[in-house]
Structure 1
Amino acid sequence: MDDPIRHPLAYARELRGWSQSDLAARLDRVARRRGLRSGTDKTAISRWENGRKKPGPDSQILIAEAFGVPVTEMELYGWPDWLPGRDLPMPLGTAHTVHVLRDAQKAAMDRRSFMTYSAAALAGLAAQWATIETDRLTAALSGRTAVLLPKARDKTRGIFLTYQAKGFLRSNDIEQALAVTTESLDLATRIGAERCVTLVRELAPAFKPYRQVEGVADFIDRLRSR
């Protein structure tokens, strides 16, 4: 009898009929289309599926593209809940409270369905919220707006924006490339994501021939001053 599938990534592969080697090959093709190198092999995928390692933001972007998952969903749910197959029933346990209640928020509920969310589940939600980021919880309790978006997801978005910028540069859409690159740099500066800043710096040479385009010279000067 086959071993039960224990990880959402393994299940997502099974839904597509892919082996670990198939997925590694698809990630390599996605990376090559972006002018990158994946570096992912069967061993790396096995470690992700066994829970021994978690794919970094760069790898998650490649995985999302391979499975056809929008980056917005990847940012919303976090690893591994954004993988295909998440629409199947999920237990409302301590590990899934935030995810399940977030999904429930999007659905129409009557009084009876609301009552299925027990006091224990809501207490679990509160406990998880309290451990997300202490400063944001304090802001919420004091009545200030708090955006509950973990820094890891901000970093993922920053990296994705640099990939978008590369695409715009290849198509000579300099103004759009500048806009998303600046957004990535602003985001990276705010959260202290040096990896994102490095990726932005790597784009600078591609902008230099377009210094006459409004904003490009200021952008290059900004990078030099960092």
Structure 2
Amino acid sequence: MYKSFSVAAVLILLLASAGCAELPPSGESGWSGLFSPSETQEIPPAGEPDPGYLTPATPYPTPTSSRTSPTLSQAPQASPTPEPYVIIYNRTTQFNATHTVEAFSFNLTAPPLLIEFKVEPEMVTRIIEAKSDYEKKQYKEYKQTFPSEDAWFKVTVRERGSGRIVAEDGFGKLYSADTRKQVFIGRHGDFLIELTGNKAKVHVVMRAGGV
């Protein structure tokens, strides 16, 4: 008797709860969406006037499926760089006992002035006797070749009016044994350029920023 009463009570509770839930009207899914009904707008039907925000344009061309062979292009050939300075002197001179001085005047209006020189001094060969470090360590004669002590060269640049030395360099005597050097003048002026030397063949090139 007690079991039948319990089953009847459960059935009454199930029916009561089922009666409280109502199904949504026909055609509605029960999803209210991201916006409330006041925020949603209807899509205008076809044939409505264009609001005019977009401008008609030509579609971007799409590449065709056909493949073309690559085209090889050659890099443009670089043209030779022109000489930035004007060569005003280019000469090789043999300086000796009878020809030791050359002088030139030049009004430098477009600095700089570059004086480059390469010296070929007169060479001297001497025979010396020295003890060998090999075999029987006997004394032998050896030849030594070196620049003559009398070979030298000097470039002197002066202000032509006052004679004041602006720049000076050379080979031998008071200067180093470097055979290639450059004298640089970086200001305007009316200059006297002196080339002096002895027992040396010298190639001199002078360049200026303009003439």
TM-score (norm 1): 0.17
* Structure with greater strand share of residues: 2
Larger Rg: 1 or 2?
2
TM-score, length basis structure 2: 0.18
